[in-house]
Amino acid sequence: MRAQVYKDDRAEDYFARFHERARRGEPSWPYEAVRVLTVTWGLLAFRMRCVSADNVPPSGSVILAPNHASFMDHFFTGAFIRRRVRFMAKSQLFRKPMEWIYSPGGVFPVRRGMFDEDAFETAYTILDRGEAMVMYCEGGRTRTGKVGDKARPGIGRIALQSGAPVVPVAIYGSNKVRNWKKLQFPKVTVSYGEPLQWPQVERPTREQQQAVSDEILDAIRSLHEELAQHGRKGVAKRVRAERRAKLAGAA
């Protein structure tokens, strides 16, 4: 795997039009076109399946927080929910010709390694409209297939300032999706956890932001470890048993 590049030397003004478009409204037709292609590819090539997609609220602002091991993770995250999801992606991806797909497709840039207030403002605008947004708390992709050891504080800041619920998402098997070039097609499972939410804080401290980010990452890690230990069928069985018990207790 090539080394990840964290710094983008292009001027801040270069990305203004992408933020403006993201703040203006929902994605246009490229979103649906790419969704059809990627979901079809995921289902056929990687036998993509999910657990507990109904944990994602059907409406209202929400942050989906998956682990990050593949360029396909944002597509896997949104594949099993009916809502359109917006993506925060590293600014290095916004180069011709792909920026002509990313921007109308609902993606907006973040300049990693820099204090990018524009990315935060775009995220708040999207959440204020009651939309769904994907954000990785690890920052970059992990190289081992395991969940990263350290969370970045950005997702904690957005969760606290927006008050939006966060759904932790574990994607298992995606670190091997590039093996299709070797005619190896791993199974991919997406598990959606229970929504997490914190009281809204107008100006959270760095420590508060980091604490929330760490809690989100811990939830992702628990979901991922459960998939590694019990597999999709085992996790689905546990979820069904818990729901039956809950219904029986409510009766």
pLDDT digits (tens, 9 = 90+) for 191-236: 999 999 999 999 999 999 999 999 999 999 999 999 999 999 999 9
User: In 63-147, where does DSSP find H-type helix?
Assistant: 73-78, 99-102, 117-128
pLDDT in tens, the chain (251 residues): 454 556 788 888 999 999 999 999 889 999 999 999 999 999 999 999 999 999 999 999 999 999 999 989 999 999 999 999 999 888 998 988 889 889 999 899 998 777 789 999 999 999 999 999 999 998 778 878 889 889 999 999 999 999 999 999 999 999 888 777 777 788 999 999 999 999 999 999 999 999 999 999 999 999 999 999 999 999 999 999 998 998 888 76
Strand partners, 90: 110
Instruction: Return the pLDDT at 164.
Output: 98
State how far the Cα of 230 lies from the Cα of 232, in Å rounded to an integer: 7
Phi-psi region at 106: left, alpha or beta (left = phi > 0; alpha = psi -120 to 50): left
Cis peptide before 97 (omega within 30 of 0): yes
Instruction: Return the pLDDT at 195.
Output: 98
Are the beta carbons of 65 and 220 closer than 8 angstroms?
yes
pTM for the model stands at: 0.91
